[in-house]
A = this chain, B = another copy of it.
Amino acid sequence: MSFNIDLSYIRSVIFKMMPPAAQLTRLEFEGPEIAVYVKNPQFLLEQGDIVSQIAKLIKKRIVIRTDPSIRKQGKEVIEYIKSVVPAEAGIESIELDEVLGEVVIKARNTQLVEEKANQILVYTGWRPKIIRSPPMRSRVYEEIMSGYLSESDYRLKFLRALGEAIHRDVLLAKNGSNYVRLTFLGAAQEVGRSAVLVETAESKILLDFGLNPGRGLSPNAFPRIDLIGIDPEDIDAVIVTHAHLDHAGLVPYLFKYGFNGAVYMTEATRDLTTLLLKDFLEVTEREGVEPPFSLRDVEKMLLHTVALKYNVVTDIAPDIRLTLYNAGHILGSAIVHLHIGNGFHNIVYTGDLKFGKTRLLDRADYEFPRVDTIIMESTYGATDQPRREEAENELLKIVLDTYNKGGKVLIPTLSVGRAQEVMVILADAMRQGKIPKIPVYIEGMVHEVTAIHTAYPDLLSKDLGKRLRGGENPFDFETFVRLEGREPRTEIVESPQQAIIIASSGMLTGGPAVEYFKLMAPNPNNSMIFVNYQVEGTLGRRIRDGAREIAFVNEKGKVEILRVKMQVYSIEGFSGHSDRHQLLDYLRHVQPKPSRIILVHGEKNAIASLANEVEKRRKFLGIGDATVLTPNLLDSVTLAYNM
């Protein structure tokens, strides 16, 4: 019923298998990993294989760390690295982390550094941590990295405490009693405030913890953890599927109210989420709204984050193993697989899912070791989307038409994902001469996000990754202009030069997109193109649904009516979500077949319609008599129990 991790077994395997010459001094937990401290890392050069053999046997990741006594002086270390790594690696910086005994090497070509890693460790006594230096520089990315370096002490303490918590013996599940119970704290019959609580006899894990952007900052915009008698401090871990506010937006809020556990996500999600949250804080501050958490909480979140790669199994609790898979939705987006209690139950939580190739990403993974319950998003459960090429052609046509009228195009986008998708399309179209080479203005936030994209070529589609690694920047073109401040907006809008503006937020809930909208709306030659889903309750949704008179509070505090004369378009085919056909196709592909399908993250109609379709097409989908559930807010479902 439980893993019952046998620590003495792990210990004895490591002590027996490590070469005596390594001079092992101690073992430490570091979060889900085991740090093996040695006085003589020389063995790595001859018997490097032994580490992965041990790791395989004990089913744990191992980090070899050096005893502080053998670490060489900083100057010597830097000189050695520079001498041994070829210049083509493009090393940009070398920094020492005294706490961990790591040397952080930032390079444009990480592969060339990687090849010398063991050699550097053995010679200098410092463990290389190799970081990609992306073609576009991201301020946030750099802040995160230097944050980890300066808070290395706190971080190590946290990881050791986390390691102890993960590897403790099971308590309650020992007598064979166990259970797995889900509670839907949000995103049930709605899009927004995604949050699923997973409880077992041993653990409480949150899958996402976002806000509903259509509901301001009222209690009903938050996952209703306040109503189920659980304090944030009772939660063991949060798993964030991807960097959108409706999934990740309130993780720092948990820290503010006492959460002290780990946050698991991919590196890209970590970076993008940090960026989004900082922007969220700036926007709320600018609007004079009390934010639900502070920058300190965001920083604490970062220090408690354990970044994971796709397809790597990680222990996150005494009875739970986590694996992240590509979800195809945005950069770093993950499908969560939980293996609970040695086969007691297996959960797949799709987060937001794209089961189709986009410009940015490959389609979502669908093969898992085991699946009992799948929790699937249903955003487009009721509708099919136009094909991608049609959507691209429509976008280019509107751009061309607006150009011919002498107008400008505003594309409000989610800064993460859709903006980059549009940028790649526009850049390629201009390169290929399909549209004129006019300025494309990109606001700072979108630019930051794009820069982060360039740091993770491995997470992008095979095609984009290859172009990036080959030195090309597919997100850029000669007419692209990065905007830093707010000043030139009026100039841009009033200039006779046709242009395209890409700005967030994608649902006009705030940010520069709203400012541009106000400036551009009165001119009937201008166009606004929505390229993403518009959540109920947002300004974007109202305009998409036909509203043409919008009340604003102007700078003098008075209400002003804005008459929308610009053309408003909504192109559906760019979605990072699967449409109905793709959702069904995903269920048809997913392996092995689940016995329970739970539909979340969709408006009431979308979920009902999808559930109905799934019921009708059981045979085609190959799901046998699997139960189909469409939970309401606060519903709890016990997936398995023995008690």
Show the binding face of A for B, using Cβ within 8 Å.
Answer: 177, 179, 181, 183, 199, 219-220, 224, 227-230, 234, 632-638, 641, 643
Give the dominant DSSP class at A's interface: mixed
Contact B632 A637, beta carbon cutoff 8 Å: yes
Whole-angstrom distance from the CB of A398 to the nearest CB of chain B? 39
- Asked if A220 contacts B634 (CB within 8 A), the reply is no
Q: List 22 A-B contacts (CB under 8 A).
A: A177-B220, A179-B227, A179-B634, A181-B227, A181-B635, A183-B636, A199-B227, A219-B643, A224-B643, A228-B229, A229-B229, A229-B234, A632-B637, A632-B641, A633-B638, A633-B643, A634-B636, A634-B638, A634-B641, A635-B636, A635-B638, A636-B636
Q: Looking at A635, A636, A641, which has the most chain B CB atoms within 10 Å of its CB? A: A636
- Per a CB cutoff under 8 Å, which of B219, B229, B230, B641 touches A633? B641
Per assembly, the copies of the chain total 2
Q: Would you call A633 and B179 a contact (CB within 8 A)?
A: yes
CB distance from A629 to the nearest CB of B (A): 10
Give every chain B residue within 8 A of A634 (Cβ-Cβ).
179, 181, 636, 638, 641
Q: A181-B227, A635-B638 are in contact. List 10 more A-B contacts (CB 8 A).
A: A177-B219, A220-B643, A228-B229, A632-B637, A632-B638, A632-B641, A633-B641, A633-B643, A634-B636, A636-B636
Instruction: Chain B residues near A177: list those with CB within 8 A.
Output: 219-220
> For the complex, what is the distance from the CA of A183 to the CA of B179, rounded to whole Å?
15
* Residues of chain B within 8 A of A637, CB atoms compared: 632, 635
Tell me how far the C-beta of A615 lies from the nearest C-beta in chain B, rounded to whole angstroms: 13
Q: Which residues of chain B are within 8 angstroms of A229 by Cβ–Cβ distance?
A: 228-230, 234
Q: Please, how many angstroms separate the alpha-carbon atoms of A442 and B128 in the complex?
A: 85
Cα A643 to Cα B219 in complex, Å, equals 8
Contacts of A179 in B (CB 8 A): 227, 633-634
Closest to A640 in B: B632
CB distance from A141 to the nearest CB of B (A): 38
Chain B residues, CB < 8 A from A228:
228-229
* A635 cross-chain contacts in B, Cβ below 8 A: 181, 635-638
CB distance from A226 to the nearest CB of B (A): 10
Task: For the complex, give the distance between the alpha carbons of A230 and B227 in Å.
Answer: 10
Task: Specify the chain B residue showing the minimal Cβ separation from A643.
Answer: B220
Per the bound structure, the CA–CA distance linking A177 and B636 in Å amounts to 20
- Residues of B contacting A181 with CB < 8 Å? 227, 634-635
For A641, what are the chain B residues with a Cβ–Cβ distance below 8 Å? 632-634
Point out the residues of chain B lying under 8 angstroms from A224, CB to CB.
643
Bound-complex Cα distance A181 to B631 (A): 12
